[in-house]
Structure 1
Amino acid sequence: MITSLRNKEKKISVIGLGYVGLPIALEFAKKFSVIGFDINAKRVEMMQNHEDPSKELDKEAFEDCDITFTHKLEDLKEATFFVVAVPTPIDDHKSPDLTPLISACKTVGKVLKKGDYVIFESTVYPGCTEDDCIPVLEKESGLKFRSDFKVGYSPERINPGDKEHTLTKILKVVSGCDDESLNVISEVYGTIITAGIHKASSIKVAEAAKIIENTQRDVNIALMNELSVIFNKMDINTYEVLEAAGTKWNFLKFTPGLVGGHCIGVDPYYLTYKASEIGYHSKVILSGRQINDSMGGTIAREVVQHLIKQGKSLKETKVLVMGATFKENVSDIRNSKVIDVINELNSFMVNVHVTDPQADSEEVKEEYGYSLVENIDKDYDAVILAVNHNEYMQLDEAYFQDITRPDSLFFDVKGVFKNIIKNIHYKSL
């Protein structure tokens, strides 16, 4: 397989070209012949013009790549090594929504041939690849797993907005359905991953490893968020406490904040869903999720309490929320917890303006029902720095004084201005 791929006698395909799939496809395309497949024709056209719809990669990333972008099923027939990197979201009941993944399996199954490989990168619960995906591949293709085609799992570790820990510099976990597939998959990925390969003992181990990476972070951040609620009631700055505690060599350096995005805010629910399915009700994980999901409302109520203490009529107040994306320095608004802050403020009849230099106003309107303001006013009663984009980090206190009324509040979610804001009422988590 690896020799045929290197000689470009066979092709790799990547199914799903979002912030995970596109970097993988382009990196493979520097060594192999690649077919990049996405069901969104508009996104495909953008990539054909060397434009990343996720705004993570510049045009140079597309150069010297042997890749064909397509949304047509028949084009996938040329591939023999399929990498599936589609989203795995949760539904309104916080249960796994495997619709995109099963749809991708049906797509691959329609073009699957004897001797082909299918590798999944999408985050799932342990057992999903073998219990949910493989049966679909068999049904659509008419082929038998292991004897006709091989399957592996290699969890994605892409960190949006991180220009240091990029794809090739992150150790890659791989797994296969047998020793042969494990070796082949390791060799293919090892061609592009300079950080090295870790061979997991089974597909389920690799699936579980991925899911606990984000679950561990979620639980630790939940502890920080709970501590911030406690310390704020005691009039203690949480970030100063963490700075002091962090001087001990074995103190884990997590910070409070809004936990959104596709990974930390979603992945734990895949694990708790599977745990419930086998008869175990998660305690720590779900408790952490509940805390993190509540932080948007907590921030909004802190702001409302300040406005009331100032004797202001909430209907006549105006609050500026700076940042709409799920994290700093990315354009991705999916599962952004800033919307929780906005909705809670709106429930108190507060007039809310939202700005973000990274987000697309039309996408925000379509996803959440509100538009970004084009012009910043000069009479805000409170400013909430929800996402610390680089553009905001260049601002000084004079700027915030210029856009706010007397006795206004500056709520600094991540505490990045704690030593800068001196003359405005200041709060943070």
Structure 2
Amino acid sequence: MAGQTPGEKIAVLGLGYVGLPLALGLARAGFDTLGFDTDAAHIAALLEGHDRAGEVSEQSLRTTAARFSDDPADLADRSTYILGIPTPITAAKAPDLGPLRAACGMIAPYLAPGDLVILESTVYPGVTEEVCGPLLADESGLRLFDDIRLGYSPERVNPGDAEHALESLIKVISAQDGATLDRVEAIYAPVIKAGVHRASSIKTAEAAKVIENTQRDINIALVNEFSLIFSRLGLDTLEVLEVAGTKWNFLPFRPGLVGGHCIGVDPYYLTYRAEQEGYHPEVILAGRRINDNMGRHVVQELVKRMLERKINPSMARVLVMGFTFKENCTDIRNTRVADILTELRDYSVTVDLHDPWADAEAIRQEYGFDMTATPETGTYDAIIVAVAHHQFVEMGAKEIRALGRPGAVLFDIKGIFDKTEADLRL
């Protein structure tokens, strides 16, 4: 393929849900690949064949030709740097480009003329060329767009979803010019079996990525608002959606908590950039407000039902099942289950948290909550099934109810049980 460099030496920075599968894929495609992460403990675990996120098998790690390192000096001989760096938001819900800037600052001293830097992080339009590019040039002393080449190829990783793996999803690629785009394609095409899509510009690709998750966020916000309305009307939202779903073009979105690193975060990148241009988004931010308040709604509905059953919340013990942001994965970033726990404590409820997928120490450090390894049978006044882990689905409503006292309230947030089996559903 035009532009392919057989001797391309690639560094993938950030070995999380995005970077680690990509590093392994590049190595399988024959590229000299270095996986880099600043977390020394994570690197040590990978070298022992363990991915703490549970996304990559031990066999894949032990047989890969990719190397792993936390030593910045190992970045010195690379010709392409792919950044899979988290792009979170601040407490004020503004983009936090600190981790991305730090990564750019780390690789800058090792850049040589002709080196290629590709971002995979979700950003607002303009970050690659107007934020990262100048930083790389300033820190390296090289000329941007001449000595340093820029590309952007947004990730489409779905944690816990083996069906939609890296190789099976079309990869959007973009670059500063046609020749660089050919080079970017030569890197990704051998890895992505589903093929690549060449965007006309980096900003177009950045914009496309940020609206992918924003669109989903708004659609979930709409059905969450349906749930807020129907709870007041005494209707079962999931049943209403099922009936409406008999229409051929009705979209199958369901109510729920919107957490994780993408859907609950990316819209703020787009709204931030829009406001820089003097436009104040209305629909996007309205959707964000609805989704961010669903944890409070869950607790309010639970407390009302408890009071109906003469259960005093301040004397009650509640079990929350699941803490990760979605089912069957270990990712606890921006999980909205934390909102439920915080709100329950505001009602002076005694809360037990149980999640077979989550790391207890990580939860304690990041959120300040303790985990219960084994819930006690016949103990709880209410049980909230917050995440649809397969373990909970396999338990079934009857076994889960056995964890509660007689008359305990079962709130099935994810709708994994029939409406006759749960007292409350979103």
Q: If the length of structure 1 is used for normalisation, what is the TM-score?
A: 0.96
Answer yes or no: is 1:27 the counterpart of 2:22. no
Answer yes or no: is 1:207 the counterpart of 2:235. no
Greater alpha carbon shift after TM alignment, 375-384 vs 339-348:
375-384
Matched-pair contact (CA < 8 Å) for 2:4–2:187 = no
CA deviation vs aligned residue, 1:387-406 (integer Å, no higher than 9, x gap):
00011110123312321122
CA deviation vs aligned residue, 1:252-290 (integer Å, no higher than 9, x gap):
111100000000000000000111111111100000000
Following the alignment from structure 1 to structure 2, what is the Cα–Cα distance between the partners of residues 264 and 319? 28
Matched-pair contact (CA < 8 Å) for 2:4–2:182 = no
CA deviation vs aligned residue, 1:7-58 (integer Å, no higher than 9, x gap):
xx33111011111000000100112110111111111111111211222111
Shift of residue 3, structure 1, vs aligned partner: 7.8
Shift of residue 218, structure 1, vs aligned partner: 0.1
Give the SS at the match of 2:383: strand
Matched-pair contact (CA < 8 Å) for 2:137–2:148 = no
CA 101–248 in structure 1, closer or farther in 2 if over 3 Å, else same: same
Answer yes or no: is 1:97 the counterpart of 2:101. no
- Structural mapping, 1:5-404, within 5 Å: 5-6=5-6, 9-30=7-28, 31-377=30-376, 378-404=378-404
Following the alignment from structure 1 to structure 2, what is the Cα–Cα distance between the partners of residues 348 and 4? 61
> Gaps (5+ residues) in structure 2?
none
CA deviation vs aligned residue, 1:215-272 (integer Å, no higher than 9, x gap):
0000000000000111111111111111111111111111100000000000000000
Following the alignment from structure 1 to structure 2, what is the Cα–Cα distance between the partners of residues 205 and 19? 24
Shift of residue 179, structure 1, vs aligned partner: 0.6
Provide the residue aligned with 1:410 in structure 2: 410
Following the alignment from structure 1 to structure 2, what is the Cα–Cα distance between the partners of residues 379 and 10? 60
Matched-pair contact (CA < 8 Å) for 2:363–2:369 = yes
Following the alignment from structure 1 to structure 2, what is the Cα–Cα distance between the partners of residues 273 and 195? 33
Shift of residue 4, structure 1, vs aligned partner: 7.2
CA 149–379 in structure 1, closer or farther in 2 if over 3 Å, else same: same
Shift of residue 123, structure 1, vs aligned partner: 0.4
Give the SS at the match of 1:164: coil
**AA matched with 2:119:** F
Matched-pair contact (CA < 8 Å) for 1:5–1:11 = no
Give the SS at the match of 1:151: strand
CA deviation vs aligned residue, 1:35-93 (integer Å, no higher than 9, x gap):
11111111111111121122211112224422111111111011101100010000100
Following the alignment from structure 2 to structure 1, what is the Cα–Cα distance between the partners of residues 210 and 129? 16
Greater alpha carbon shift after TM alignment, 210-219 vs 136-145:
136-145
**AA matched with 2:259:** G
Matched-pair contact (CA < 8 Å) for 2:375–2:403 = yes
CA deviation vs aligned residue, 1:115-136 (integer Å, no higher than 9, x gap):
1100000000001111110011
Give the SS at the match of 1:92: coil
Matched-pair contact (CA < 8 Å) for 2:11–2:35 = yes
**AA matched with 1:113:** A
Following the alignment from structure 2 to structure 1, what is the Cα–Cα distance between the partners of residues 103 and 94? 19
Following the alignment from structure 2 to structure 1, what is the Cα–Cα distance between the partners of residues 364 and 124? 32
Following the alignment from structure 1 to structure 2, what is the Cα–Cα distance between the partners of residues 198 and 276? 29
CA deviation vs aligned residue, 1:404-425 (integer Å, no higher than 9, x gap):
122211111111102561xxx6
CA 177–344 in structure 1, closer or farther in 2 if over 3 Å, else same: same
Following the alignment from structure 1 to structure 2, what is the Cα–Cα distance between the partners of residues 166 and 179? 28
Greater alpha carbon shift after TM alignment, 410-419 vs 378-387:
410-419
Matched-pair contact (CA < 8 Å) for 2:324–2:358 = yes
- Give the number of aligned pairs: 424
> Gaps (5+ residues) in structure 1?
none
Following the alignment from structure 2 to structure 1, what is the Cα–Cα distance between the partners of residues 61 and 3? 24
Runs of 4+ in structure 1 displaced over 4 angstroms? 1-5
**AA matched with 1:14:** V
CA deviation vs aligned residue, 1:322-380 (integer Å, no higher than 9, x gap):
00101000111111000101111100101111100000111111111111112312221
Greater alpha carbon shift after TM alignment, 370-379 vs 338-347:
370-379
Following the alignment from structure 2 to structure 1, what is the Cα–Cα distance between the partners of residues 14 and 192? 20
Give the SS at the match of 1:55: coil
Following the alignment from structure 2 to structure 1, what is the Cα–Cα distance between the partners of residues 153 and 106? 19
CA deviation vs aligned residue, 1:181-220 (integer Å, no higher than 9, x gap):
1111012100110001100000000000000000000000
Following the alignment from structure 1 to structure 2, what is the Cα–Cα distance between the partners of residues 169 and 139? 38
Greater alpha carbon shift after TM alignment, 35-44 vs 290-299:
35-44
Greater alpha carbon shift after TM alignment, 153-162 vs 406-415:
406-415
Matched-pair contact (CA < 8 Å) for 1:173–1:200 = yes
Following the alignment from structure 2 to structure 1, what is the Cα–Cα distance between the partners of residues 419 and 237? 13
**AA matched with 2:16:** G
Following the alignment from structure 2 to structure 1, what is the Cα–Cα distance between the partners of residues 56 and 216? 26
> Pairwise CA RMSD of aligned residues?
1.4
Following the alignment from structure 1 to structure 2, what is the Cα–Cα distance between the partners of residues 52 and 396? 30
